[in-house]
Amino acid sequence: MADHSAIEWTDATWNPVVGCSLASPGCTNCYAMPMARRIEAMQPGSHYAGTTKVVNGKPVWAGKVALAPEQILTQPLRWRRPRKIFVNSMGDLFHESVPDEWIDRVFAVMALCPQHTFQVLTKRSARMRAYLTTPFRVDRIFQASWPLGEGSPLTPQQYADRAHLGPPGRKDSVFNRWPLANVWLGVSTEDQRRADERRDDLAALAATGWNTFASYEPALGPIDWTGWDFLKWLIAGGESGPHARPSHPDWYRASRGFCAPRGIAFFFKQWGEWAIETPRAGGDLGADLRAGQVRHVCRDRENDGHFREGDRYMRRVGKARAGRLLDGVEHNGMPEVRT
């Protein structure tokens, strides 16, 4: 959990659940796995214990998930200044091992914090859809909201003031405002297959009134965004870290081009480790390719070793140097938040 996040599209991170398991190719180089491993080492006996294991010298998720202590679960209640809060940067709230009762508690906290905007991102869209469309879900969330536990900063009177003294059905109850206007639901879409698998679930939630977004990060292949008109926000970006995979600039241009005429906010987060290769006088492209400093990225297909029109070479220059300008422009689109 961090009150100030380096992630460009949010203000803070909140991890009421930690731990995960690999779900798709976008998980391969997940930054959260080595971070969780470091926390395990620095904080023996914490709720991170056992969430990772080492495979071939690299930390990976072990499949174990854990509910955070009460003081972390209830932290947003203590943040008075409104924030954009990324929910679960260190796991997936809708992981198959997370009980519904845990998720109920998370949504209860979010309901009691209308001053914040919560950004919930998952790769498990089917679970998210099933959870949020279960009959009487809001009633169960209300029941989970009180008592919140020893870590709650609210006195009974403060809770009553915040919840307007009412369960769902009472006109002035925050639990009668469903879907929650301050909660944004998002899915990760790293390539066409994963986009196709997750689109209908998110579309169904958008149709019931939820604010929705997609995170095309890391971009590992081109995506045809047909059928995604329901989105309010699209985040796109490349991969960072020592094993980062490059992405083609046209993948981002197509995403930007889809968003513009539909009024969908577009946010280009970063190139990651790789930037467009600019031919250098006296440079040895072949040697750089063999050394892995330059990579061939196909525009619209898997790399079969043949360079075709529209393909590009990308050079590893590091995240800072690669920057986040797309065609010389910084794209910081943010959706309009309704209250």
Instruction: Report DSSP letters for 157-178, one per residue.
Output: HHHHHHHTT--TTSTT-GGGS-
Whether residue 187 is predicted with pLDDT greater than 60 in this model: the reply is yes
Flag the least confident range among 18-27, 246-255, 281-290, 328-337: 281-290
Kindly indicate the confidence band of residue 36, based on its pLDDT and cuts at 50, 70 and 90: very high
| Confidence at residue 209, expressed as pLDDT on a 0 to 100 scale | 96
Phi, psi of 157 (to 5 degrees): -70, -40
* Segment among 28-32, 154-158, 207-211 with least mean pLDDT: 154-158
Q: What amino acid is encoded at 257 in this protein?
A: G
Contact 118, 87 (CB under 8 A): yes
φ/ψ (deg, to 5) at 228 = -105, 20
Least confident interval from 58-72, 136-150, 181-195, 264-278: 136-150
**Residue in the structure block whose two tokens are 């063999």:** 290
Write down the pLDDT at residue 280. Answer: 76
Q: What is the mean pLDDT of the chain?
A: 91
C-alpha–C-alpha distance, residues 265 and 270, integer Å:
16
Within 10 Å of residue 338's Cβ, how many Cβ atoms? Answer: 8
CA angle 8, 125, 137 (to 5 degrees): 105
Q: What is the SS3 assignment for 5?
A: coil
**CA gap 285, 294 in Å, rounded:** 8
Q: What was the pLDDT predicted at 283?
A: 79
pLDDT above 50 for 165: no
pLDDT at 251: 98
Specify the residue for token string 């909140």. Answer: 14
**Confidence class for position 156, pLDDT limits 50, 70, 90:** low
Whether residue 61 has pLDDT greater than 80: yes
- Per the structure block, which two tokens stand in for 46? 């914490």
- For the chain, first and last CA: distance in Å? 25
Collect all residues with Cβ–Cβ distance below 8 Å to 331 and sequence separation of at least 6.
Answer: 256, 266, 267, 268
Measured at the CA of 265, the angle between CA 259 and CA 269, to 5 degrees, comes to 100
Confidence of residue 166 (pLDDT cuts 50, 70, 90): low
145-154, 163-172, 328-337: segment of lowest average pLDDT: 163-172
Percent of the chain scored above 90 by pLDDT?
77
Q: Is the pLDDT at 287 greater than 90, yes or no?
A: yes
Task: Give mean pLDDT, residues 19-44.
Answer: 96
* Alpha-carbon span 304 to 6, nearest angstrom: 36
Q: Contacts from 231-234 at CB under 8 Å and sequence distance 24+?
A: 231/206, 231/259, 231/262, 231/264, 232/184, 232/264, 232/265, 232/335, 232/336, 233/184, 233/186, 233/264, 233/265, 233/267, 233/333, 233/334, 233/335, 234/258, 234/259, 234/264, 234/265, 234/266, 234/267
171 pLDDT more than 80: no
Q: For residues 297 and 312, is the Cβ–Cβ distance under 8 A?
A: yes
Q: Above 70 in pLDDT, residue 102?
A: yes
pLDDT at 163 over 60: no
Q: What is the mean pLDDT of residues 225-247?
A: 97
pLDDT at 167 over 60: no
> Cβ of 109: how many Cβ atoms within 10 Å?
23
More confident residue, 147 or 83: 83
Query: What's the whole-model pTM score?
Result: 0.92
Distances (CA, A) of 243 to 60, 316, 337: 14, 11, 36
Q: Quick one: pLDDT at residue 321?
A: 97
**Does pLDDT of 248 surpass 70?**
yes
Residue 24 token pair: 């798709």
pLDDT > 70 in the chain, percent:
90
pLDDT for 149 equals 53
pLDDT, average across residues 288-315? 92
pLDDT score, position 298: 95
Please report the pLDDT score of residue 169 as a whole number. Answer: 56
